[in-house]
Structure 1
Amino acid sequence: MSENWAAFFYLVAAVCFIVALKGLSSPRTARLGNVVGAAGALVSVLVVMAVHRPDRLVWILIAIAVGGAIGTLAAQRVAMTAMPQMVALFNGVGGAAGAMVALLELAEGTSDAVPHLAVTAFTVLIGSITFSGSLLTFAKLQEIVTGRPMVFPGMRWVAAVSVAGSLATGVWVTLTGSVLGAVLLAALTLGLGLLLVLPVGGADVPIVISLLNAFSGITVTASGYVLSNTLLIVAGTLVGASGTLLTKMMADAMGRSLVNILFGAFAGGSTLGSTTESDRPVRSGGPPDIAIQLGYARKVVVVPGYGLAVAQAQHTMRDLTDALESRGVEVTYAIHPVAGRMPGHMNVLLAEADVPYDKLKEMTEVNPEFRTTDVALVVGANDVVNPAAHTEPGSPIYGMPILEVAHAASVVFLKRSMRPGFAGIENELLYDQKTTLLFGDAKESLSKLLAAVKNL
């Protein structure tokens, strides 16, 4: 294939990536965006093979087939609750791939120019941080290790020494092109990635996922420069820029700076909390009583959370809202930017149940409506409706914008137990006189509510 045709198809692939990113910005077009993005990736791979004609084509095709089979199987079997873990793994794989490409290019001695070596060292650095940080994020979300912040004595000094050592080693690689130096840089920054994620916990984990996603894009961009591949630079820049913007938006939604989110635990002010269940008295109700509240309400706002995803109860939730609407009840869904375990988690979950997109209202749009809401039905959410964000300056979530369900005439919580939410703090709204709790698995509770509403 000629260079002109290769450049043309690279342009086609780049346009596909841009269109795909635009498509993914809305649930209505997300599926098409995925297809267009996959088509762009396929074009990219085919063009690279046609232009460079690799010697070990058979092994490359075998690797693609194995990876494709693993990816397809994982995508088909992954539970919605495990989607954040999969995203974290994807980020890690992207970072590792970029770092390995840089190490191999350095070993082959393709260039001894200082700018090229500097970018190579940077690719190893950011790729290794992304890999180890993403693996630890996965372990936190999967509860292989505790999801709470982990800080040990002298950690800030260990982190400072690691940063200084990584920078010094990066300069060494830049000036000498040393492969040994690059390997040492990779080892140091693998540790740095762990130190970056260890102090983060609770409701901050989704933001770190977004940040590591941006890091993976930056790694791809840098590796594109190392390989002199324009398409990698374009694709990586798109991922890096979108991930950075999303991280900033989510940090704003939490009402905290990114620095505070990443390093607040060093000062004892991150998402530290308790996992102990409270024994304070609450008002609980049965499905028939709550069904009466819902069935005779004028307006109901549903607040979905991670518990809804854990129970895989989104379809039952949709059936319940359909039953309420058939009785003339106005039903909408309130979506908090960091509800769940990753950006857009609740949007994806409800889209899977074919909930109309126009019924999903973002926090800024729905908050004024709570004052005219008869019942706020909170299903598996806790931190994103916790008034402590407004009332308790010492709270880990203080300053975080929340869904103001406390302004509704009555509040119903569907919870498994009285254990605190992901941030590890109690929610005083649970003990309010206008709050009723229905304990149990979300899917089972919603099924009972659905049956009770139909019997009204």
Structure 2
Amino acid sequence: MMAAFLPTLVKASYFLAALLFILGLKRMSSPRTARGGIVWAGAGMLVATLATFFLPGMHNLPLIAAAIALGTLAAWISGKRVAMTAMPQMVALYNGMGGGSAAAIGAGELLKFGAGEAASTTQLVLGVVGALIGAVSFSGSLIAFAKLQGWMDRRFVFAGQRFVNALVFLAALAAGAALVAGRLEVGVVIAFFALALAFGVMMTLPIGGADMPVVISMYNAFTGLAVAFEGFVLQNEAMIIAGMVVGAAGTLLTQLMAKAMNRSLANVLFGNFGAARGEAQAITGAQKPVEAADAAVMMAYAERVAIVPGYGMAVAQAQHKIWEFARLLIERGVKVRFAIHPVAGRMPGHMNVLLAEAGVPYDLIADMDDINPEFPATDVALVIGANDVVNPVAKTDPTSPIYGMPILDVASAKNVIVIKRGKGTGFAGIENALFYADNTRMLYGDGQAAAAELVAALKALDGGH
């Protein structure tokens, strides 16, 4: 009797897991409840995983348990050891593993169908589509990881690249169509996956580093869709629901990121990201340095200060010192706000996570649309590590690869102080006109050291307190 009741219990567990997934995702939409949302969604995944062990006809349970144990151990160790600055490439890598798993499931099912197991046309179509998307997400995410890790050039282009990419994609579709038509030989399956993996690589190679937030969210959506399609093939409700939730969330996030980068989704998928449109306009003027003590005085006697963090802050691990400096300003009566661009850093929400880690209250953090109207009334804008998201050429230079991208209007503040290690360009590889503006001063040095100097100068101004 218990054996007859098990399928119902498993399906009920999957329903509970689905509720936890959706509620967890809802809670993740707010910084105040995001941590709890992650716990809820994790609990849902645990319930779904445990329930799967009791599905009728499950085989190789010891191997499955061993694989879960090894994966959990690897994730635990990497999660503890990976620095926050390396979190974007970690997310890309883990997302790729999800797409690769979906592709592997598709490969296994296609080979089983080829060996004589009955399959409907719908199962074949969804299995092929899921495998294609999963393979593209896997290989594309690995290239994104390599770029973020600095193991390969940020952009790789050649003449006729789009045409070659289109041919590879069409060849993958043709191989997939052959599989759906019943040609389930091993050779056709191998050719299909080789072409799908190649397309994922070639689609990601020309993408510039400044567009990585879009890429990561896009492949996240791909992985979710692949899992959902393979869930239909396996008739597994948990995979279907989890995949659809991830796919929908990833798609919405991709649209948000693409809008923030002034990209269409078609351009995200098949465009040549970051390509120059012509000869860039010359930037006149010179970068004007400032000492930390002078910068601290300027902000100490300001009425409004906006702090704009970027990836450089993450690299320097300067968020704690910056928040200490902001607290000192607030104690002096200065109105301080943190301005966040949607694609600041290397992945969506990167700066929000860093600031939360430092203890910055959520009500002091403003997004781009809210803070931009306030910049003209801001006495000092302190930029630390941000580059392309504050570059005025996005509004003034039609030949710039970032032209049309919405930016933080830092240049309209009365005074701008930029903490920067040197005079190099940003991740997009272009000069920043903000650094040469008349109202901008450059505080050169490591972000954490510069922030510490600002703190010391402000304390000295207050008599050491």
When normalised by structure 2's length, the TM-score is 0.94
> Any residues of structure 2 matched to 1:180-219 within 5 Å, and which?
180-219=187-226
SS at match of 1:115: helix
Q: Are the aligned partners of 1:269 and 1:396 in contact in 2 as well (CA < 8 Å)? A: yes
**1:266: Cα distance to partner?**
8.3
Shift of 1:160: 2.0
Q: Map Cα deviations across residues 6-36 of structure 1 (whole Å, 9 max, x no partner).
A: 2211110000100111111111111111111
Mapped pair 1:447 → 2:452: yes
Deviations 1:344-394 (CA, angstroms, capped at 9, x unpaired): 111111011111001110111000111110000000001111110111111
Give, in whole Å, the separation in 2 of the partners of 1:227 and 1:262. 28
For 1:356, the equivalent position in structure 2 comes to: 361
Question: Are 1:400 and 2:405 matched, yes or no?
Answer: yes
Alignment match, 2:66: 62
| 1:45-444 alignment runs, 5 A limit | 45-52=49-56, 54-109=58-113, 110-147=117-154, 149-176=155-182, 177-265=184-272, 268-269=275-276, 281-444=286-449
Name which of structure 1's ranges 261-270 and 126-135 shifts more when overlaid on structure 2. 261-270
The one-letter code sitting in structure 1 at the alignment partner of 2:41 is: G
Aligned counterparts of 1:260 and 1:95: Cα–Cα separation in 2: 22
The separation in 1 between residues aligned to 2:273 and 2:47, in whole angstroms, is: 47
Query: Unpaired segments of 5 or more residues in structure 2?
Result: none
Q: Deviations over 1:317-367 (max 9, x none)?
A: 111101111111110000100000001111111011111001110111000
Residue by residue over 1:279-313, the C-alpha shift from the partner in whole angstroms, topping out at 9 and shown as x without a partner, is 97321011111110111111100000000001111
Partner letter of residue 185 of structure 2? S
Instruction: Give the C-alpha shift of residue 199 in structure 1.
Output: 1.3
> Which residue identity does 2:380 align to in structure 1?
V
Partners of 1:39 and 1:265 lie apart in 2 by 40
CA distance change for structure 1 residues 254 and 270 in 2, over 3 Å: closer, same or farther? farther
- The 1:267/1:339 distance shift into structure 2, 3 A limit, reads closer
Q: Report Cα offsets for 1:56-78 as digits up to 9, x if no partner.
A: 22222221111101100111111
Residue aligned with 1:2, SS: helix
Q: Which amino acid aligns with 2:386?
A: A
Q: Does the 8 Å contact 1:103/1:179 carry over to 2?
A: no
Q: Structure 1: where are the runs of 5+ without partners?
A: none
Report SS of the residue matched to 2:53: helix
Question: CA shift at 1:194, angstroms?
Answer: 0.9
Q: C-alpha offsets along residues 147-194 of structure 1, whole Å, 9 cap, x if unaligned?
A: 1x2111232232122112111100110011333322211100100001
Aligned residue identity for 1:375: V
User: What amino acid is the match of 2:233?
Assistant: V
Measured in 2, the distance between the counterparts of 1:419 and 1:269 equals 18
1:8 matched to which residue of 2? 12
Do the aligned partners of residues 270 and 257 (structure 1) sit closer, same or farther apart at CA in structure 2, a change above 3 Å counting? farther
2-side partners of 1:270 and 1:240: how far apart?
Answer: 33
1:380-409 Cα deviation digits (max 9, x unpaired): 001111110111111111111110011111
Percent of counterpart pairs with the same letter?
48
Moved more, 26-35 or 46-55: 46-55
What is the root-mean-square deviation of aligned Cα atoms in Å? 1.9
Confirm or deny: 8 A CA contact 2:228 2:241 kept in the other structure: yes
- Look up the equivalent residue of 1:338 and give its one-letter code: V
Q: Is the 8 A contact 1:132 1:193 kept in 2?
A: yes
Aligned in 2, Cα 1:280/1:142: closer, same or farther, shift over 3 Å?
farther
The code of the aligned residue for 2:167 comes to: V
Query: Which segment is superposed worse, 379-388 or 248-257?
Result: 248-257
Call closer, same or farther: CA 1:364–1:65 in 2, change over 3 Å. same
Note closer, same or farther for the CA distance 1:428–1:253 as it changes in structure 2 (3 Å cut).
same
Shift in Å at residue 271 of structure 1? Answer: 12
Q: Matches of 1:354 and 1:426 in 2, distance apart? A: 33
Aligned counterparts, 1:15-30, within 5 A: 15-30=19-34
Secondary structure, counterpart of 2:54 in structure 1: helix
- In structure 2, what is the Cα distance between the partners aligned to 1:52 and 1:142? 43
C-alpha separation between the residues in 2 aligned to 1:87 and 1:49? 27
Residue pair 1:204, 1:271 contacting (<8 A) in 2 also: no
1:271/1:163 Cα in 2 relative to 1: closer, same or farther (>3 Å)? farther
Whichever residue aligns with residue 161 of structure 1, its letter is: L
- Distance in 2 (alpha carbons) for counterparts of 1:8 and 1:93: 28
Greater Cα shift, 2-11 or 74-83: 2-11
Instruction: State the shift of 1:220 in Å.
Output: 0.5
Instruction: Give the Cα separation in 1 of the matches to 2:185 and 2:295.
Output: 69
What's the CA shift for 1:267? 10
